[in-house]
Chain A
């Protein structure tokens, strides 16, 4: 996030895009609710009638995958009506003229055609965004899990740049990260192209610094992402994989392909707290300690490094992840030894300037600290770019609306979009073991609009097959107007009975290689059966 969770409550305009915040980030949603109660205007962009639409002043119900057309048209209106922040654009941005030209054809009428949103609603939303004094954009996977995910984000950033909404409290562009430490994993260098602190692997000076610290030559060859890695396995070029705590088989798009790839490996190590579907495929499984059994830090979606503390011992012979890696490295001829995770963190802080001023001692005394926090005296940075973008001007990126990689046709006439449900989490390895949760979400539902249900002759709770070009799973029908016509919705929380990601597409964003979880084409088939389903 460019800004902080707490700042959201001070916004006077909120554009919530593709984020079912009350379900996937319920505690952040509390700040959005508070802002709305205090009079902020709330505009929700989502194809589904999510809970926040009840609170919203305006709900822009766009067709799936047409976000860019909408944001471009809003930018078009802001430029056409001269509502942009001219001083900010002049002093802190670049390529404005290219953007202006590019946006000429994105009239509200043109966007209305693509998105299904009335031109009038687009114009009003654009005006309100532009004249608000603290306008925050909030988005989640709904924006990034598309094959054009990066472009969606750029189109949103264009809006914020036009109106000078960077470097200002309660404004900015705020992605909400899904898992507790997604932010931190990237920050400390678990990215093929970046060393800790987003320092580029292909910069020789950076490599020299790390080589000096680590005492070994570093590879300069580009690494591959998880998404490409699967292709490499199938081509026989990738032979061994080591997975720490991730149920890849269930969580990745196009699950059957992922599983096939992992099965072909010469050697697979999985380190986890449970025997997950992925661990089942491993040659060696290592028992890890859970978060309650380790000391360390997590970094939340607003870049806040927070202390994780050990409450109990790990069961049996399970060990903390950090210790396992040290012991294995040492056996492979590289001496890696720390007496406590705080020593590991000190090394991170020494090498990564963005967190250089953060220490366990400070976290103990001051609570969580938001990076950049380069020195011991630095208070941390709740709001990015407060000193202006000037040095690194924000460049406008002209982007175009492209339809999703797979659209409905005669054989697969419905759009499937996937997401989260509040009371279950990810692949269910953790929430699935919490008693009582089966009462809240007993099984996977495929949410179907009443009209589609009527056409297909489907009843509530009836079992159906959901089939795509890649696979077929069973789920129960939930007839609800949360889903618009022609769109069905599922989560991926019940891998044992319904492996939703068998259906999803293997198209991915060509920049970040994020798989396109959000959209694919499916059909619903009635299950012919003799026995009655349990109610």
Chain B
């Protein structure tokens, strides 16, 4: 095995071709890598992942520098902390007051403000500059408030290079550079598929989930790691709940299946249906052509009686059970066990064949 990299004096194994940033992650060192998305090649523009490498003049961007055997990397010197704090303070001077951040004030802290807090960046160290302008786009999915944009281009790159939709791109030049969609600045009129990946990758409050923003109230939010209920891909998601209700969803970047990517169904249709007022909430029994509410006990007794009757008069094979390709393995397992053991038939099927 190659000689390891030394991170702040500790040995860290690495593979040929890994960047310093990736090696740091193995070592458990988390830098404020604001312009970096592992699904895209390194960009090296935010200058927040800078580290000191022994024998090299100046600082290097960890995201864009390949690790070398025996490299000695320092990530946490006084000078680096000062430097990062200053870069963050400059960024904050381009944005509205932090407490108004659309992400931090809803689903939880954005990467930028988390980094600012971690390095003690002061909001008013530098006089505020003129903000970018919010988009007027009123689509019901993606809230685009570019006053919070730090021009890291993660969104345009994920849209162009990864999703290959090319719905948004940078426009203008110099200080006036901004993100817009094409041909108009309304996403519904662009090639956007509303996969929501721009929201997932944006390190600030510039791009947020409008549905979640509309739903969220006050009180603590909890995140639960689970799996998207739609297609057989099985993307990892975090369901976000508040006060016993679902209020949103975020992609799970740690799941190897989707690596933080989702599609429009996972991002924008995976939780509202569960909150829907027309959910079934009690057992129902048909009587004289219409349904009436019943207790579980009544329903169970009726089913037990009727299934037993059919089984006893016509045999177990006069009964069939169809399970669901949307239910869990555990529920499916118990349904086939029920069919075979309780009813006594192999008439158990699911829609796997379709």
- Measured between beta carbons, the chain A residues less than 8 angstroms from B255 are 306, 367-368
Query: Are A223 and B274 in contact, CB atoms less than 8 angstroms apart?
Result: no
Name the B residues within 8 Å of A251 (CB-CB). Answer: 351, 354
Query: How far is A367 from B257 in the complex, measured between Cα atoms in Å?
Result: 10
Q: How far is the CB of B236 from chain A (nearest CB, A)?
A: 7
A179 with B232: CB separation less than 8 A = yes
Asked if residues B258 and A27 are in contact (CB atoms below 8 Å), the reply is yes
Beta-carbon contact of A239 and B310 below 8 Å: yes
A338 to chain B, nearest CB (A): 8
A348 within 8 Å of B by Cβ?
yes
Q: Which of B264, B319, B346 has the most CB of A within 10 A?
A: B346
Which of A41-49, A84-92, A295-303, A406-414 lies on the face that meets chain B?
Answer: A295-303
The distance from the CB of A82 to the nearest CB of chain B, in whole angstroms, is 37
| Contact bitstring B128-156, A, C-beta under 8 A = 1, else 0 | 00000000000111000000000000000
* Cβ of A402 under 8 Å from chain B: no
A293 in the interface (beta carbon within 8 A): yes
Distance in angstroms between the alpha carbons of A291 and B274 in the assembled complex: 9
Closest to B295 in A: A317
**A311 to B228, Cβ gap below 8 A?**
no
Nearest CB on A from B201, distance (A): 13
A188 touches B349 (CB 8 A): no
A229-270 vs B, Cβ < 8 Å mask (1 yes, 0 no):
100100001111111111010011000000000000011010
- Size bracket of the A interface: 35 or more
Residues on B with C-beta less than 8 A from A183 are: 232, 352
Knowing A185-B327, A242-B321 touch, does A436 contact B244 (C-beta < 8 A)? Answer: no
Given contacts A180-B231, A308-B226, A435-B140, contact A285 B304 (CB under 8 A): no
Q: List 26 A-B contacts (CB under 8 A).
A: A181-B325, A185-B329, A188-B336, A214-B340, A223-B345, A224-B317, A240-B306, A246-B326, A251-B351, A266-B306, A273-B280, A290-B273, A290-B279, A292-B239, A294-B328, A296-B329, A301-B232, A302-B257, A305-B329, A316-B281, A328-B300, A328-B303, A332-B308, A336-B338, A423-B194, A433-B272
Give the tally of cross-chain contacts (CB within 8 A).
450
B62 to chain A, nearest CB (A): 24
With A and B bound together, what is the CA distance between A379 and B30 in angstroms?
28
CB atoms of B329 and A327 under 8 A apart: no
Using known A-B contacts A185-B325, A244-B323, A422-B193, determine if residue A431 contacts B265 with beta carbons closer than 8 Å. Answer: yes
Interface check B234, CB cutoff 8 A: yes
A329 at the interface (CB under 8 A from B): yes
Contacts of B276 in A (CB 8 A): 274, 433
Q: Which residue of A lies closest to B306 (CB)?
A: A267
A181 to B329 alpha-carbon distance, docked (Å): 8
Q: Is the CB of B336 within 8 A of A282?
A: no
Set of chain A residues within 8 Å of B245, measured between Cβ atoms: 312
A186 touches B354 (CB 8 A): no
In the complex, chain A residues 98-153 whose Cβ is within 8 Å of any chain B Cβ: 141, 145
A189 to chain B, nearest CB (A): 4
Of the stretches B8-16, B103-111, B167-175, B284-292, the one at the interface is B284-292
- With beta carbons under 8 angstroms apart, the residue of A141, A237, A301 that contacts B233 is A301
Residues of A within 8 A of B233 (CB): 5, 25, 27-28, 176, 300-301
The answer to whether residues A190 and B352 also contact, given A300-B257, A318-B281 and a CB cut-off of 8 A, is yes
Judge whether A304 and B323 touch: CB under 8 Å: no
Could you tell me which B residues sit within 8 Å of A by CB distance?
Answer: 139-141, 161-164, 188, 193-195, 211, 222, 224-236, 239-241, 244-246, 254-258, 261-266, 268-269, 271-274, 276, 278-286, 291, 294, 296, 299-304, 306-308, 310, 314, 316-342, 344-354
- Chain B interface SS verdict (over half): mixed
Nearest-CB distance from B334 to chain A (Å)? 4
Contacts A240-B319, A435-B272; A178 near B261 (Cβ below 8 A): no
- Give the CA-CA distance A266 to B261 in the complex, in Å: 47
A residues in contact with B231, CB < 8 Å: 24-25, 177-180, 425
B230 touches A180 (CB 8 A): yes
Chain A: minimal CB distance from B238 (Å): 9
Asked whether B350 lies within 8 Å of A321 as measured between CB atoms, the reply is no
Bound together, the chains give a CA A123 to CA B302 distance in angstroms of 64
Question: Are B284 and A434 interface neighbours, CB within 8 A?
Answer: no
Counting chain A CB atoms within 10 Å of each CB, which of B141, B244, B329 scores highest?
B329
In the bound complex, residues from chain B placing their C-beta under 8 Å from that of A185 are: 323-325, 327, 329, 332, 350-352
Q: Please state if B273 and A430 are interface contacts (CB–CB under 8 Å).
A: yes
In the complex, A193 has a CB within 8 A of chain B:
yes
A307-339 vs B: 1/0 string, CB under 8 Å?
Answer: 111111101111111100111110111101000
Q: Quick one: closest B residue to A288, CB to CB? A: B280
Contact residue among A177, A239, A325, A328 (Cβ-Cβ distance under 8 Å from B331): A325
- Separation of A186 and B323 alpha carbons in the complex (Å): 10
- Cα distance, A34 to B162, chains bound together (Å): 7
- When distances are taken between beta carbons in the complex, the residues of chain A under 8 Å from B346 are 192-193, 201, 219, 221-223
A527: interface (CB < 8 Å): no
Chain A CB count within 10 A is highest, among B273, B282, B328, B349, for B328
